[in-house]
Chain A
């Protein structure tokens, strides 16, 4: 058993610190700040959209490809809610731009 940390030992130890402690702190900070941002937007404009552009695009694609799925109705409902919210609110929570929002249609 080596009595001191080898170069690889240092690398492993520092990697653990970065991938665990730093990841925890960054994730905690992000989720708390996002919660504040959501709360502030909801207070100011009454609602926020529930999907990011990428997630909403994927949801639409899934709805179109699964016309007989038992969850289609709830998926459409969620899609439409998100579109309506984006159209009626001034500021979006996710990174939507104006042209993306104007191109959205209800299903």
Chain B
């Protein structure tokens, strides 16, 4: 059943390595600073109940579909589209996913840079010096473009270095200890936080359900956004990592269930880590990035053994963001290596170089970073997800994909309930999300520019790939892929 792709392909050495890589790629800063306060602001337990339903109903099946696509085609995102639709315009759809990833990484790398800086100062004990002012410290750091750009460059070097070694010798070797270490470090801080006086108030904020939120559309939207995008659905990461699976590997458990629930489990751990401490010290829990880089920094010195807890927290935070950086970048690296004559080393340099360059404005200005996040988060990701899920749901056909491939070598049987979720529910949800954010931000220039950017990106990518492939003989459409 093997198709000769003409490429010697790396493979995960172990299923544990694959699972850790995928979980690591989707666990990021959003789990640590966003999940806790979004839950707290949207009815606590009511939000979490909705979130759980959406997680199992949409995110888990969606991730299975994406991983399946990678394992089946044994290709990156452009190759996956080409495999089913032939060369030419359709490859532009894959190119959109790659560009969205490069766009995402361009403003995510500065966040990793912030984490490195804070970890370094946690090691140096800066936060514990007399007269230390976390707000002024944050303002001085974020207002120092040269410093942030320098650290952004360091992130590029660190991410590129690991990716040079490939899948099993690079990513897998790093994440299989980094993700367990992330869980251990967050658990240690959570246990400490739960022993603080006032911790219960934090848990009450996060878990006490305010049922009126169950009927609030905004709560459902917030839960939907968190369930879909914090699990990395549609980013192309599951597709790319899935393409390095062996033919006997399982998709539904490793590629879908563990990724989604593992990622959210770390979000839950973050709730136990952040909220007890925030409430114990009477801080505002809804400040996003400032919660981590200002509020939490201000409380570590007041805690017994604060040096250790601060160090562990920022170490865990760095593991979370760095492993995501590896996953997001690998989407582009795999694709560039497959679709061009570049070697892996050259592909790594090209992709890392692209997001490094594109990321300089985000590193320079947090306002620009906010723009990028708004445009790519609200429009880019739903667009990429829509393309991947339409490929599985409509081009391959979800029923055919499930019967032929999803249940092939699967450790658990996936029934027919999966088919309509992939074919109808997720694409509808993606269109709804883009429409919702556009409609509710119609007076915000970011909404117009974000939507225009994505439409332009799609049309431009399709035209570009059509132009590049012009004159070449198309491969037959609907050619079955790898295994």
Minimal Cβ-Cβ distance residue in A for B247: A50
B404 touches A (CB below 8 Å): yes
Minimal Cβ-Cβ distance residue in B for A1: B205
Name B419-455 residues within 8 Å CB distance of A. none
Contact B400 A8 (CB under 8 A): no
Contact B268 A17 (CB under 8 A): yes
Contacts A17-B268, A34-B250 given: A8-B45 contact, CB under 8 Å?
Answer: yes
Contacts A6-B204, A24-B262 given: A74-B408 contact, CB under 8 Å?
Answer: no
Minimal Cβ-Cβ distance residue in B for A74: B480
Contact A9 B48 (CB under 8 A): no
Tell me which of B11-19, B157-165, B308-316 binds A: B11-19
Majority secondary structure of chain B interface residues (helix, strand, loop or mixed): helix
In the assembled complex, the CB of B67 is this many whole angstroms from the nearest CB of chain A, namely: 13
Q: How far apart sit A24 and B268, CA to CA, in the bound complex (Å)?
A: 12
Chain B residues in 8 Å Cβ range of A81: 1
Number of interface residues of B (CB under 8 A): 43
Residue among A34, A52, A54 with max Cβ neighbours from chain B (10 Å):
A34
Chain A residues in 8 Å Cβ range of B1: 74, 77-78, 81
Q: How far apart sit A28 and B179, CA to CA, in the bound complex (Å)?
A: 14
Q: How far apart sit A55 and B264, CA to CA, in the bound complex (Å)?
A: 29
Minimal Cβ-Cβ distance residue in B for A23: B261
B221 touches A (CB below 8 Å): no
B209 touches A (CB below 8 Å): yes
Contacts A9-B45, A48-B248 given: A70-B478 contact, CB under 8 Å?
Answer: yes
Majority secondary structure of chain A interface residues (helix, strand, loop or mixed): helix
A13-49 near B? 1/0 per residue, CB < 8 Å: 1011101110110011011101100100010000010
Name B214-270 residues within 8 Å CB distance of A. 248-250, 253-254, 257-258, 261-262, 264-265, 268
Contacts A2-B204, A12-B209 given: A30-B403 contact, CB under 8 Å?
Answer: no
Chain A residues in 8 Å Cβ range of B254: 31
Q: Indicate which residue in A9, A21, A31, A34 contacts B19 across the interface (CB closer than 8 Å).
A: A31
Contacts A2-B204, A13-B207, A71-B400 given: A34-B411 contact, CB under 8 Å?
Answer: yes
B52 touches A (CB below 8 Å): yes
Number of interface residues of A (CB under 8 A): 48
In the assembled complex, the CB of B284 is this many whole angstroms from the nearest CB of chain A, namely: 13
B410 touches A (CB below 8 Å): yes
Q: How far apart sit A33 and B410, CA to CA, in the bound complex (Å)?
A: 13
Contact B209 A50 (CB under 8 A): no
Q: How far apart sit A31 and B117, CA to CA, in the bound complex (Å)?
A: 37
Contact A51 B200 (CB under 8 A): no
Contact B248 A9 (CB under 8 A): no
Chain A residues in 8 Å Cβ range of B15: 31-32, 35
B201 touches A (CB below 8 Å): yes
Contact A20 B413 (CB under 8 A): no
Minimal Cβ-Cβ distance residue in B for A7: B208
Name B250-309 residues within 8 Å CB distance of A. 250, 253-254, 257-258, 261-262, 264-265, 268
Complex A-B: 15 CB contacts under 8 Å: A2-B204, A5-B200, A6-B208, A8-B45, A12-B45, A12-B49, A12-B209, A13-B207, A17-B268, A31-B19, A31-B254, A51-B409, A55-B407, A58-B407, A59-B403
Q: Which positions in B face A, CB cutoff 8 Å?
A: 1, 14-16, 19, 44-45, 48-49, 52, 200-201, 203-205, 207-209, 248-250, 253-254, 257-258, 261-262, 264-265, 268, 399-400, 403-404, 407-413, 478, 480
